[in-house]
């Protein structure tokens, strides 16, 4: 069965797929009976009527349960495929895109921007004093902060923006069709929103965290690695400048 047909049976409800499978089976069985009757030059008498009844009844009785079982298997295969894809593409803790997938999509976005002359800005975000958070609240506290940012960051971005957990306490953004000035304004809004966000730790406890954010606008000569490297340098400049701030690294 072709991928498109398989996808149809996976997506549709059983009340659509099972009757369709039965109809196909009955159609094939009846069609075969008529073809055999014509090829063998047999009369359309009482025996043909009995054969026609069998040709209709047997597929109905057999194809409905077997069709349901096949659809069930197809859906299990599709679910397993989606789960495997999620593991390969998404960070387990935050559910954001992981570094590998972000780099893969980012290289395509950069190439598209360079071909079309569109603007593109990359950003790296680092949680300030993350080691202190882990020391004071344990790794469960650090995980709570990472998960809170995983939920909050996409809400501050546009639908076309990309966000990923870059690694450790670092996150990465890719902002298509965005000038450096607009990206700086967006990053400042993200920084302010996170600084004001209470992170629940359980037991009624909360904490707040801040971000140091580095930005870099893509140039026609950039590779994805050089673009990210400039954003990384800008992020460390933000750290050195006092943390909880945004720094743009010129291209």
Instruction: Name the burial class of residue 71, with classes exposed (0-12), middle (13-18) and buried (19+) by CB atoms within 10 angstroms of its CB.
Output: buried
CA gap 239, 241 in Å, rounded: 5
Instruction: Return the active site residues.
Output: 169
Could you give the maximum distance between any two Cα atoms of the chain, in Å? 95
Cβ atoms of residues 167 and 175 within 8 Å: no
Q: What is the DSSP letter of 90?
A: B
Which residues does 165 contact at the CB level (< 8 Å), separation at least 6?
91, 93, 94, 96, 97, 98, 99, 146, 150, 171, 172
- Indicate the DSSP class of residue 2: -
Nearest to 199 by CA among 245, 134, 139, 143: 143
Residue the block writes with tokens 């359980």: 202
Q: How many helices (H) and strands (E) does the chain have?
A: 7, 7
Q: How many CB atoms lie within 10 A of CB 214?
A: 26
Q: Residues near 164 by Cβ (< 8 Å), separated by ≥ 6?
A: 91, 96, 97, 98, 99, 101, 102, 171, 172, 173
């Amino acid at each position: 069965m072709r991928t498109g047909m398989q996808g149809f049976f996976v997506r549709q409800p059983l009340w659509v797929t099972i009757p369709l499978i039965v109809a196909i089976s009955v159609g094939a069985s009846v069609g075969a009976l008529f073809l055999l009757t014509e090829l063998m030059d047999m009369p359309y008498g009482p025996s043909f009527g009995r054969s026609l009844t069998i040709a209709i009844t047997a597929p109905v009785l057999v194809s409905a349960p077997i069709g349901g079982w096949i659809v069930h298997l197809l859906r299990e295969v599709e679910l397993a495929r989606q789960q495997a894809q999620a593991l390969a593409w998404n960070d387990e803790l935050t559910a954001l895109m992981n570094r590998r997938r972000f780099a893969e999509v980012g290289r395509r976005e950069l190439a598209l921007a360079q071909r079309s002359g569109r603007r593109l800005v990359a950003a790296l975000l680092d949680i300030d004093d993350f080691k202190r958070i882990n020391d004071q609240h344990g790794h469960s506290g650090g995980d709570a902060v990472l998960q809170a940012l995983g939920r909050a960051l996409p809400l501050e971005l546009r639908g076309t923006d990309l966000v990923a957990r870059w690694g450790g306490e670092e996150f990465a953004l890719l902002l298509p069709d965005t000038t450096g000035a607009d990206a700086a304004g967006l990053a400042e809004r993200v920084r302010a929103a996170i600084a004001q966000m209470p992170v629940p730790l359980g037991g009624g406890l909360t904490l707040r965290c801040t971000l140091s954010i580095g930005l870099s606008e893509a140039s026609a000569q950039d590779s994805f690695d050089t673009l990210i490297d400039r954003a990384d340098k800008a992020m460390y400049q933000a750290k050195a400048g006092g943390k909880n701030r945004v720094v743009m690294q010129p291209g």
